[in-house]
């Protein structure tokens, strides 16, 4: 089956206008196909989050997109120039076409407003014609989708666990049935069991609803497990792209190889780690 693009970025560059200027994203091009998971991997500070904000027109001063084109290919057949959208057009575009789960999302909920009111606010802004009953039914459906008891709608964020708050943020990102979801390290600060549950939920929802995902993380082994394709980012540039299998079995760039080798294997010879000053060396147990 031929891949059908849903989001295309060409030669995107983003700079922080400080003294001296910082070139955070340098001439990046990528394509997200409809229904796929595109993993974006790289170390902290390499420009992953800045690129994600640029794709969704969420950059704030001193960040500035200095060049590039970003096109959304709507399922209706229309191509939307995201860079050219005016303020009101952009406001209608976000959440409806592209939604985002932000880094540290479980702390993004307003602590003094109930979950129901925060979900209703999305409908009030983007679907003003919905009745109160329709909003309640949709909100309950969203919570069921992400595996949360609909009775939790009346809860406040402090009454929810970290994993439940993260699921609430995913539910809100899905509220308008977007075609693309950008997820910026959605499992950060969660324990490994909860992380696994969140990942399974994302995979299940992608299969059920058909949206495409840009999944941003420094955890390359996890991306190899869940992604269709992976882009590896270093110092503001994408240095390698390929399928998950290609990245795992035949990495081409030295940085990709270093990323893969930085994670310990579950098999192999046992070793002792000896700390010498600020360095750590390994002595094989014989």
What was the pLDDT predicted at 117? 95
- Please check whether residue 165 lies inside any domain of the structure: yes
Q: How far apart are CA 40 and CA 231, in angstroms?
A: 5
Indicate whether 146 and 57 sit together in one domain.
no
Is the dihedral angle over the CA atoms 195, 197, 40, 7 positive or is it negative? negative
> Is residue 219 located within the same domain as residue 265?
yes
Question: Is the same domain home to 185 and 155?
Answer: no
Q: Tell me whether residue 197 is in a domain.
A: no
- Among 227, 229, 221, which Cα is nearest to 263's? 221
CATH number (domain holding residue 233): 3.40.50.300
What is the band of 106 on the pLDDT scale with cuts at 50, 70, 90? low
Confidence of residue 275 (pLDDT cuts 50, 70, 90): very low
Question: What is the reported pTM?
Answer: 0.88
Q: Determine, yes or no, domain membership for 263.
A: yes
> For residue 156, what are its two tokens?
């406040």
- From CA 266, how far away is CA 161, in angstroms rounded? 31
Is residue 199 pLDDT above 80, yes or no? yes
**Pairwise CA distance, residues 23 & 45, whole Å:** 11
| Average pLDDT of the residues of the chain | 88
- The verdict on 30 and 116 lying in the same domain is no
User: Do residue 66 and residue 119 come from a single domain?
Assistant: no
pLDDT above 70 covers what percent of the chain?
90
pLDDT in tens, 120-176: 999 999 999 999 999 999 999 999 999 899 999 999 999 998 888 889 999 999 999
Range of the domain at 132: 107-177
Establish if 249 belongs to a structural domain.
yes
Based on the fold, state whether residues 8 and 82 are members of the same structural domain: yes
């Amino acid at each position: 089956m031929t891949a059908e693009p849903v989001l295309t970025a060409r030669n995107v560059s983003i700079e922080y206008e400080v003294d001296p200027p910082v070139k955070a994203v340098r001439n990046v091009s990528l394509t997200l196909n409809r229904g796929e998971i595109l993993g974006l991997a790289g170390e902290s500070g390499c420009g992953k989050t800045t690129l994600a904000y640029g794709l969704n027109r969420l950059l704030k001063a001193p960040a500035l997109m200095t060049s590039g084109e970003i096109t959304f290919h709507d399922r209706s057949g229309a191509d939307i120039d995201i860079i050219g959208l005016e303020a009101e057009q952009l406001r209608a575009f976000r959440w409806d076409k592209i939604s985002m789960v932000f880094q540290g999302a479980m702390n993004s909920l307003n602590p003094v407003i109930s979950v129901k009111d925060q979900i209703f606010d999305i409908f009030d802004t983007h679907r003003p014609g919905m009745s109160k009953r329709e909003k309640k039914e949709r909100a309950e459906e969203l919570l069921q989708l992400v595996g949360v008891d609909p009775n939790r709608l009346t809860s406040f964020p402090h009454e929810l666990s970290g994993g439940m708050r993260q699921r609430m943020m995913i539910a809100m990102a899905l509220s308008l049935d977007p075609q693309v979801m950008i997820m910026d390290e959605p499992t950060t600060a969660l324990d490994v069991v909860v992380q696994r549950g969140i990942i399974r939920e994302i995979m299940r929802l992608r299969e059920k609803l058909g949206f495409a995902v840009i999944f941003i993380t420094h955890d390359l082994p996890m991306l190899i497990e869940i992604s269709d394709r992976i882009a590896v980012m270093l110092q503001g540039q994408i240095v390698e792209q390929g399928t998950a299998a290609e990245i795992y079995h035949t990495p081409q760039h030295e940085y990709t190889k270093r990323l893969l080798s930085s994670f310990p294997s579950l098999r192999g010879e046992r070793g002792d780690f000896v700390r010498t000053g600020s360095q750590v060396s390994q002595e094989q147990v014989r």
